[in-house]
């Protein structure tokens, strides 16, 4: 926990970019009956029945000090999917960065081994050498600022039923563009000093 909090207070460096990443699954849900549009004084009506059209995954990357984020939809969440997203982070999102300081959780696909499974050794090592990984502790995923962006996307961009992968891609891309244009910043205030007071029970006691 303190490792993550120390990362968050480092000064901004254009060549050493802080990025937080996370991913979450999303159901593709269709309607069994046509919704009734809302009118003044009456909300829209949706039938409680729905059609489940499968699932997809949404990868979320955010560079909080740059007020930037990238959300991208994939059919699955495998080691290959993660590796491809990391390659895009390194080569397209921040190609000029000397190092990308990446905060992420302990999911098994989040490892350098995934890069070696997806790419030839030389390419995997090239990507690996651009990364500095910092893992949130078990049950401590709330320390990952990417989860804040996840919640905003789910509650404001994906609040309605979305039936197809194509539509999901469209909705996420639209949210991503609007969110970046607004240049919203995460106001993170939790520090190591706060942790030692509020989470005192988690620390060993010395007499």
Identify the CATH assignment for 2-198 out of 1.20.140.10, 3.40.228.10, 3.20.20.70, 3.30.420.10. 3.30.420.10
3-state secondary structure of 43: coil
3-state secondary structure of 204: coil
* CB contact at 8 A, 195 and 5: yes
Percent of the residues in the chain that have a pLDDT greater than 90, as a whole number: 71
Close Cβ partners of 71 (under 8 Å, ≥ 6 residues apart): 58, 59, 60, 61, 149, 153, 172, 175, 176
Geometric angle at alpha carbon 19, from 174 and 154, rounded to 5°: 35
Structure tokens at 56: 């997809």
The reported pTM is: 0.87
Q: Which residue has the higher pLDDT, 207 or 42?
A: 42
Average pLDDT over the chain reads: 91
Q: Residue 70's beta-bridge partner residues? A: 61
Q: Above 70 in pLDDT, residue 118?
A: yes
In this prediction, residues 83-108 reach a mean pLDDT of: 97
Q: How many CB atoms are located within 10 Å of the residue 1 CB?
A: 14
Structure tokens at 26: 């999303």
3-state secondary structure of 11: coil
Percent of the residues in the chain that have a pLDDT greater than 70, as a whole number: 97
In this prediction, residues 173-186 reach a mean pLDDT of: 91
Q: Where are the domains of the chain?
A: 2-198
Q: Residue 73's beta-bridge partner residues? A: 58
Which pLDDT tens digit goes with each residue over 22-80? 999 999 987 667 777 778 888 877 666 768 889 999 999 999 999 999 999 999 999 99
Q: Strands, E, within 8-162: which ranges?
A: 16-31, 50-63, 68-74, 99-104, 131-135
In this prediction, residues 116-123 reach a mean pLDDT of: 97
Q: Which residue has the higher pLDDT, 143 or 157?
A: 143
d(CA 62, CA 102): 10
DSSP symbols for 140-200 = -GGG-THHHHHHHIIIIIS-S---SHHHHHHHHHHHHHHHHHHT--------HHHHHHHTG
């Amino acid at each position: 926990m303190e490792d993550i909090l120390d990362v968050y207070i480092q000064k901004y460096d254009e060549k050493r970019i802080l990025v937080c990443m996370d991913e979450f699954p999303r159901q593709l849900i269709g309607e069994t009956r046509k919704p009734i549009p809302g009118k003044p004084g009456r909300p829209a009506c949706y039938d409680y029945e729905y059609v489940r059209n499968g699932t997809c995954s949404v990868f979320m990357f955010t560079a909080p000090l740059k007020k930037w984020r990238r959300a991208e939809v994939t059919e699955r969440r495998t080691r290959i999917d993660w590796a491809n997203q990391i390659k895009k982070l390194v080569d397209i999102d921040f190609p000029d960065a000397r190092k990308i300081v990446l905060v992420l959780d302990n999911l098994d696909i989040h490892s350098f081994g995934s890069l070696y499974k997806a790419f030839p050794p030389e390419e995997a090592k090239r990507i690996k050498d651009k990364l500095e990984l910092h893992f949130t502790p078990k049950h401590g995923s709330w320390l990952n600022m990417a989860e804040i962006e996840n919640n905003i996307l789910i509650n404001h961009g994906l609040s309605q039923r979305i039936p197809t992968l194509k539509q999901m891609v469209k909705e996420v891309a639209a949210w991503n563009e609007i969110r970046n244009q607004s240049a919203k910043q995460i106001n993170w205030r939790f520090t190591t000093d706060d942790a030692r007071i509020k989470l005192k029970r988690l620390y060993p006691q010395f007499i």
